[in-house]
Amino acid sequence: MPLPVPVFSSYGSLTEPTGIDLLMEDLGRAFNNDPQMRMLGGGNPAAIPSVQALWRRRMAELLEDGDSFDRMMVQYDPPGGNPAFLRAMAGLLQQEFGWPITPEHLAITPGGQTAFFHLFNLLAGAGRDGGPARRVLLPIVPEYIGYAAQGLHRSFFVATPPVIEDSPDQNRFRYRIPFDRLPWSEPIGAVCLSRPTNPTGNVVSDSDLGHLIDLTRERGVPLLVDNAYGLPFPGAVFTEAKPLWDEHVILVLSLSKLGLPGTRTGIVVARPEIASAMRRITSVSALANNNVGQTMVLPMIQSGEILKLAKHTIGPFYRDASARAQGWLDEAMRGAGVDYRVHHSDGAFFLWLWLRDLRITTWEFYQRLKERKVLVVPGRFFSFGLDEPWDHPDQCLRISFSQPEQVVREGMRIIAEEAARLSKPRAIPAGNLP
């Protein structure tokens, strides 16, 4: 007799197919079964030789120091994180930025993705007071694909299309926060943005971020800033910007883009009540955190060396990689006669390509590229929370440039070939783009 189909609770919404699920499944299959696939789709950091050598040396040190290695592998840390790590991180942020941070302002989580899942559902959704369900406001979209399915009730996010500033002479454009159209009339529990923005590489300016802090403070809702690629580390920022925090802001840092994604270590910087709540949630959901990442980077936090690594090694590596990748993409697109725009690359590991004349959606384009052994991410999955239709994301792709040069250049050549084949015919020569 067959077993009955289980009836899931509302928590079962997490089992529904999503963009992040599709992305990770495709990445996993390609990594394990298709070595010919050109991996331009994921957010995996590059294997920077000097950085990887640093982590190998650090692991060797731990192996030589049997007591430290055994403690890392055998003992549970408190749910909020390793006390020595918390003290060192608080001291670093105090000393470098003057922030009034204590260990009570910090909570470690099993990665930044987990941190946002818990923060979103802690601050938004159905309230205990019986009032209307609160939503998470995304002040600028497109936004990170991994947020989209994290809410435990429907219509969890709310957003409005951004302002688009076009630079046709450079084949570049930029999204800006539509401050005059933000939907404050909705019941808002939190506001969230990534900086640099994943997928576009947009770094919201210090002035715009400050204005957003003021607006959210006036309304009594916290501002969540996803710093997975940003400042002070890993430092994949190519424009003038500074890290901003106050007790109204919840800043989430990560060790992943330092070259340690396998350690799954997120760091929440928040007012003590929020940090304490996150520690309790970790104790219930995960018991404790991964010890490896905290132990690996502790000496670099204590010495401040982590900031030098970000400023002098990781940041310049990705800045140079971005410049090269933009040059290759411009060359490929212009050579193929494609009408295109690329979002200004201010940071992170991606280029955001806008194909304005594509005859099909970039979801369909993604499938065709996959047949040609190029894996990217279609734009539709990054635009959620919109109450009105918006076709623009179906003309966009996220392209990672963290892979080796040959992989990136060849992938961009194939993208340009397919775009030329599938674009609407134009009445003007390729060299005279509007």
Q: Which residue has the tokens 């901003």?
A: 244
Token couple for 389: 């239709």
Angle 325-306-248 (CA atoms, 0-180°, nearest 5)? 90
> Whole-model pTM?
0.92
Q: What is the pLDDT along the chain (434 residues), one digit of tens a residue?
A: 677 777 777 777 777 767 667 666 766 666 666 678 898 987 789 999 999 999 999 999 999 988 999 999 999 999 999 999 999 999 999 999 999 999 999 999 999 999 999 999 999 998 877 778 999 999 999 999 999 989 988 789 999 999 999 988 889 999 999 999 999 999 999 999 999 999 999 999 999 999 999 999 999 999 999 999 999 999 999 999 999 999 999 999 999 999 999 999 999 999 999 999 999 999 999 999 999 999 999 999 999 999 999 999 999 999 999 999 999 999 999 999 999 999 999 999 999 999 999 999 999 999 999 999 999 999 999 999 998 899 999 999 999 999 999 999 999 999 999 999 999 775 444 444 43
Cis peptide before 272 (omega within 30 of 0): no
Token couple for 342: 């690329």
DSSP string, 293-353: HHHHHHHHHHHSHHHHHIIIIIHHHHHHHHHHHHHHHHHHHHHHT--EEEE---BSSEEEE
User: Do 375 and 369 meet the contact criterion of CB atoms below 8 Å apart?
Assistant: yes
What is the CATH code for 10-50+310-422?
A: 3.90.1150.10
User: Do 190 and 221 meet the contact criterion of CB atoms below 8 Å apart?
Assistant: yes
Q: What is the pLDDT of residue 41?
A: 85
Q: What is the pLDDT of residue 174?
A: 97
Angle 210-214-219 (CA atoms, 0-180°, nearest 5)? 145
C-alpha closest to that of 430 among 364, 355, 333: 333
C-alpha closest to that of 340 among 397, 378, 380: 397
- Backbone φ, ψ for residue 374 (5° rounding): -125, 125
Structurally, at CATH architecture level, domain 76-306 sits in 3-Layer(aba) Sandwich (3.40)
- The domain segmentation of the chain, as residue ranges, is 10-50+310-422, 76-306
DSSP-H helix ranges across 124-271: 206-219
User: Do 46 and 37 meet the contact criterion of CB atoms below 8 Å apart?
Assistant: no
Token couple for 19: 């963009």
Q: What is the pLDDT of residue 27?
A: 65
Q: What is the pLDDT of residue 132?
A: 85
C-alpha span between 346 and 259 (Å, rounded): 20
* CA torsion, ordered 301, 313, 175, 146, to nearest 10 deg: -60
